[in-house]
Chains A and B, each alone.
Chain A
Amino acid sequence: MLVHVPGPWSPLFGRLTLDSIPYSNPIIIFAFAFSVIAGLLVLVPVVYYRKIGYLFREWLTTVDHKKIGIIYILLGLVMMFRGFVDGMMIRTQQVMADGPHSGGVLGAAHGYLPPEHFDQIYSSHGTLMIIFAVTPILTGLGNIIVPLQIGARDMAFPMMNAISLWLTTVGAMLVMASLFIGDFSTAGWVGLAPLTEVSYSPSVGVDYWLWAIQISSIGTTLNSINMIATIVGMRAPGMRWDRLPIFTWTTLSTNIIGLTSFPILGVALALLGADRYLGTHFFTAGLGGDLMLYTNLFWIWGHPEVYFLVLPAFGIISEVIPTFAEKPLFGYITMVAATFAIAGISWLVWLHHFFTMGAGPYVNTFFSVATMLVGIPTGVKVFNWVFTLYRGRLTFTAPMLWAVGALFLLLIGGVTGMMLAIPAVNYTVHNSVFVIAHFHCMVLLIAYSIFAATGYWFPKVFGFRLDERSGKAFFYTFSLGTAVLFIAMFALGFMGETRRLDYLYNTQWMPALVVEEIGIGFYTLSCYYFAKMLYVSIRDRVKNRVGADAWGTSRTLEWLTHSPVPFYNFAVTPQVNTRDELSWRYANKVADVQPDHFEAFHMPNNTVVPLLIGILGFGFGFGMVWRIWWMAGFSLLAIIAVVIYRSFARDKGYILTAEALAKLESANKPLGVVAETQYLSESNTSHMAEAEAH
């Protein structure tokens, strides 16, 4: 039954031995020291200022969609930094290992990374950036903004929201653990079959990759259910479908994609897991396995996943541009139609990731045409944004710069994508770094939108604006890095460099490789400006404080409530009268009209259950990776027990009374996501009655 893996195994520790810890590798020692210092920098102040209780009560056990969103985004940003360091290491290795005369250090024949280590780094770069950086950040943004944009108090299922968060965190923690205990997959972020099979990858690397993605994708699926239920069922009165802000529309479409595509990834990984753990033959080379079955299943998820990421990015651009052009979005209905057209076509194009499979001209033609069709709705979107900009009153704040920058990347990425959609071209440049440069343009467009969104909505969440000066320096250095690195990479693709090379044989590539490394230098500089932006903004937070509408020209509902948003979002649910409600209220000079009285409403209690499920989920994942059966089994049973126990608990939440609300609203304190129960207790707990049983 169970697959025999080489190496020692004990019932207590599974495959885990002291030798599993790569303490002799200086790079990993450095990474470990860096992580420990960064961790201590967070932990020591928390302990010193006795904030552990606060952290536990207000953040780790929270069910508030805004706090959950913030944790998502923080997790994503940390993982993005790690992914960036991986990228930097890949580029540095390639520039050091070009040509037979290139020397080697740290035990490598060329460059400084032996092939085994280099392969792990590009695998973790892709996995981290796509699954654990961009996905959590966009999920977090949706979490924070969508309920505010539709005038809801929370998500449809607040506790499930927290469970999604902690399952995603478990995945990220497993990838982090792989850095210091054992190794990571060497089979790329896509998991090239049959290289991922036990006979070719006997170490725990593939298992880490497999369980990290599997567990976090359960979280993503649950979040998709939650988001769709929220948008469909929790809209404020008057928020008709034709008034829904575009970011909410794109979040809806993206989560429909997520809900329908992540199960396919789950199947692909489960079947691979069955091969690795039980000894079945789904994707093995021989005994009736079919490795292209894996590739197909993976990309049936993988391509919709790309649009899962890019659609919210389009939504962000559609929010930022009208605000800073002081015009309503051009072509609202076509924008919604284009969004759903892209979402629909996303299901029909997966095979363009492997035209060279040899499926024949008819199949390739179908997928080629389907891929080109994507260009039509995307073109509609670009023209809509351009027409919104046209004769607008433009203000080039940092978020606006990111949004406009994203348009250029979309253009380059989109046009090269059209080239790759032609099978004849694809056969030539397949697996070259031309493809890498193309999809980095697309993913960077998402990153640009993320930075636009961060700057745009930061004041909504924290009550003060980010520093413009360092924010713009961040944009310009980052954009220089993008231009310098990826133009050189496009050229290298045409010159014949294939992807995933730890050693390059052609010395003529050297100049372009050096240019790429210069690009990395600009990126590194941009990290400095990002940190400076955060530091300066927090230092000058009093100076940069904003009112409800941080930009003065915002259009949608989230800018109607206080900044930072109080934990109950809206004291009284707004009645929506039109699309772009806030600009309508401005036009009619009623934007400042406050509700004349308050009414009590129901709020959910914080709970430790999601965190507990997360911790047990990590136990399950870690136990499975190292084949510590008792640990995995116990964790799984404990999760089931916790869920059953919770279904018996009668947690009714609490009622926030009208008096408490009046007090909170008139206090004029920096109410917000930062402190919830503190203000509640100040506002006299006697106002809080136990909620009635249903």
Chain B
Amino acid sequence: MQMNIVKDGKIPPLWHYGHEEHDVIGAKTFGFWLYMLSDALLFAGLFAAYGVLDHTMNAAGGPTESQVVHPIAATWQTFAVLSSVFAYSLATVALKRGNRAGVVLGMLAAIGLGVVFLGLELADFASLFHAGATPFTSGFLSAFFVLIASHGLHMVFGLLWMLVMLVQVLRFGFSTAVVAQLLNLRLFWQFQASVWVCVYVFVYLKGTI
């Protein structure tokens, strides 16, 4: 207790007066980074499950990895998702300049490329189903489809979010809430592209070897 007493008897301020301006965008961005950490762990779990089940034993006599991956199609998917991120980045540049038309155009392009990505994915799935390789065939194929579909589901939510933001930008302009969401959406979109790169490497490229 002794060491606690102020020596010269001069007590420092006890209360903090004055209005603290709350950094809304900072708080929301930090919160969203934390969410992304949990999302990263979610994919880590899925990749781990895929790593375990990617084994001839788990293919249960059905098709194995090299028989189901289509790396060329996946390369086109990679181009689509990365250009979608690039388009969204152009929207972010426009946001910095306060250019509403630029933001809308960039987001429309990002949505279009995202739809192309999902279309390619669905086409790939359809061809696999047609060939008789379904998630219900074996443990390996379950992991293959569920890992890729989980990423696809994230992409669908990203597209939905972009559509909502498109309306909000047109309606509210660049209010604090809208800007915070646009920045978080950028994080989300870029993160999903990064996850796709992992999928591309660990599923499609590894599968061709």
Residues of chain A having any CB pair with chain B under 8 Å: 1, 156-157, 221, 224-226, 228-229, 232-233, 236-238, 259-264, 266-268, 271, 274-275, 278-282, 284, 286-290, 293, 297, 300, 572-575, 577-578, 580, 583-585, 587-588, 590, 593, 595, 597, 599-602, 640, 644, 647-648, 650, 693-694
Measured between beta carbons, the chain A residues less than 8 angstroms from B30 are: 229, 232-233
Say whether B5 contacts A226, CB under 8 Å: no
In the complex the two chains form, what is the Cα distance from A237 to B53 in whole Å? 52
Question: With A575-B14, A694-B176 given, can you name 11 additional A-B contacts, CB distance below 8 Å?
Answer: A156-B27, A225-B31, A229-B31, A260-B38, A264-B41, A266-B42, A266-B45, A267-B42, A279-B136, A287-B138, A640-B160
- Given A156-B31, A288-B139, CB of A647 within 8 Å of CB of B164: yes
Closest to B140 in A: A288
In the complex the two chains form, what is the Cα distance from A274 to B143 in whole Å? 10
Measured between beta carbons, the chain A residues less than 8 angstroms from B23 are: 233
Say whether B16 contacts A263, CB under 8 Å: no
Closest to B56 in A: A288
Say whether B175 contacts A694, CB under 8 Å: yes
In the complex the two chains form, what is the Cα distance from A620 to B53 in whole Å? 30
- Given A229-B27, A262-B38, A263-B45, CB of A290 within 8 Å of CB of B135: no
In the complex the two chains form, what is the Cα distance from A599 to B19 in whole Å? 7
Say whether B38 contacts A281, CB under 8 Å: no
Going nearest first, the 6 A-B pairs with the smallest beta carbon separation are A288-B139, A267-B45, A280-B142, A288-B60, A288-B58, A694-B176
Measured between beta carbons, the chain B residues less than 8 angstroms from A602 are: 22
In the complex the two chains form, what is the Cα distance from A577 to B42 in whole Å? 41
- Given A233-B30, A288-B53, A290-B53, CB of A574 within 8 Å of CB of B19: no
Partner of A587, one of B1, B13, B136: B1
Say whether B5 contacts A577, CB under 8 Å: no
Say whether B27 contacts A644, CB under 8 Å: no
Measured between beta carbons, the chain A residues less than 8 angstroms from B42 are: 263-264, 266-267
Q: Is B59 an interface residue (CB 8 A)?
A: yes
Closest to B62 in A: A288
The B1-50 residues at the A interface (CB cut-off 8 A) are 1, 4-6, 11-20, 22-24, 26-27, 30-31, 34-35, 37-39, 41-42, 44-46, 48-49
Partner of B15, one of A578, A584, A595: A595
In the complex the two chains form, what is the Cα distance from A275 to B139 in whole Å? 10
Say whether A282 contacts B139, CB under 8 Å: yes
Q: Is B168 an interface residue (CB 8 A)?
A: yes
Measured between beta carbons, the chain B residues less than 8 angstroms from A574 are: 14-16
The B64-104 residues at the A interface (CB cut-off 8 A) are none
Closest to A222 in B: B35
Say whether B37 contacts A260, CB under 8 Å: yes
Residues of chain B having any CB pair with chain A under 8 Å: 1, 4-6, 11-20, 22-24, 26-27, 30-31, 34-35, 37-39, 41-42, 44-46, 48-49, 52-53, 57-60, 62, 135-140, 142-143, 145-146, 160, 164, 168, 171-172, 175-177, 181
Closest to B48 in A: A297
Say whether B6 contacts A588, CB under 8 Å: yes
Closest to B150 in A: A270
- Given A156-B27, A587-B4, A588-B4, CB of A278 within 8 Å of CB of B136: yes
Say whether A280 contacts B17, CB under 8 Å: no
Q: How far does the Cβ of B51 sit from chain A's closest Cβ, in whole Å? A: 10
Measured between beta carbons, the chain A residues less than 8 angstroms from B145 are: 280
Measured between beta carbons, the chain A residues less than 8 angstroms from B37 are: 259-260
Say whether A595 contacts B17, CB under 8 Å: yes
Measured between beta carbons, the chain B residues less than 8 angstroms from A601 are: 19
Closest to A274 in B: B146
Say whether B49 contacts A282, CB under 8 Å: yes
- Given A288-B59, A585-B14, CB of A293 within 8 Å of CB of B146: no
Measured between beta carbons, the chain A residues less than 8 angstroms from B46 are: 267
24 A-B pairs, CB-CB below 8 angstroms?
A225-B38, A259-B34, A259-B37, A263-B42, A266-B42, A266-B45, A274-B135, A275-B142, A280-B139, A287-B137, A288-B59, A293-B52, A572-B15, A573-B20, A574-B14, A574-B16, A575-B14, A577-B12, A577-B14, A578-B4, A597-B17, A650-B172, A693-B175, A694-B24
- Given A226-B31, A237-B16, CB of A282 within 8 Å of CB of B4: no
- Given A229-B30, A572-B15, A575-B12, CB of A293 within 8 Å of CB of B49: yes
Measured between beta carbons, the chain A residues less than 8 angstroms from B176 are: 694
Say whether B14 contacts A644, CB under 8 Å: no
- Given A267-B42, A271-B146, CB of A600 within 8 Å of CB of B19: yes
Partner of A575, one of B15, B20, B138: B15
Measured between beta carbons, the chain B residues less than 8 angstroms from A286 are: 60
In the complex the two chains form, what is the Cα distance from A297 to B44 in whole Å? 11
Say whether B168 contacts A588, CB under 8 Å: no
In the complex the two chains form, what is the Cα distance from A595 to B23 in whole Å? 25
Say whether A583 contacts B1, CB under 8 Å: yes
Closest to B23 in A: A233
In the complex the two chains form, what is the Cα distance from A263 to B143 in whole Å? 17
In the complex the two chains form, what is the Cα distance from A644 to B52 in whole Å? 38
Say whether B12 contacts A573, CB under 8 Å: no
Q: How far does the Cβ of A568 sit from chain B's closest Cβ, in whole Å? A: 14
Closest to A649 in B: B177
Q: How far does the Cβ of A192 sit from chain B's closest Cβ, in whole Å? A: 18
Measured between beta carbons, the chain B residues less than 8 angstroms from A282 are: 49, 53, 139, 142-143, 146
Say whether A575 contacts B13, CB under 8 Å: yes
Partner of A572, one of B5, B12, B16: B16
Q: How far does the Cβ of A347 sit from chain B's closest Cβ, in whole Å? A: 11
Closest to B3 in A: A587
Say whether B1 contacts A221, CB under 8 Å: no
Q: How far does the Cβ of B59 sit from chain A's closest Cβ, in whole Å? A: 6
In the complex the two chains form, what is the Cα distance from A264 to B137 in whole Å? 25
Say whether B53 contacts A263, CB under 8 Å: no
In the complex the two chains form, what is the Cα distance from A585 to B5 in whole Å? 9
Say whether A289 contacts B139, CB under 8 Å: yes
Measured between beta carbons, the chain A residues less than 8 angstroms from B139 are: 280-282, 284, 287-290
In the complex the two chains form, what is the Cα distance from A300 to B45 in whole Å? 9
Closest to B34 in A: A225
Partner of A263, one of B5, B39, B146: B39
Q: How far does the Cβ of B10 sit from chain A's closest Cβ, in whole Å? A: 10
Closest to A267 in B: B45
Centre residue among A261, A271, A595 by max chain B CB count within 10 A: A271
Measured between beta carbons, the chain A residues less than 8 angstroms from B35 are: 225
Measured between beta carbons, the chain A residues less than 8 angstroms from B20 are: 573
Partner of A694, one of B14, B18, B177: B177
- Given A288-B58, A572-B16, A599-B19, CB of A221 within 8 Å of CB of B38: yes
Q: How far does the Cβ of A516 sit from chain B's closest Cβ, in whole Å? A: 38
Closest to A644 in B: B164
Measured between beta carbons, the chain A residues less than 8 angstroms from B146 are: 271, 274, 280, 282
Say whether B15 contacts A229, CB under 8 Å: no
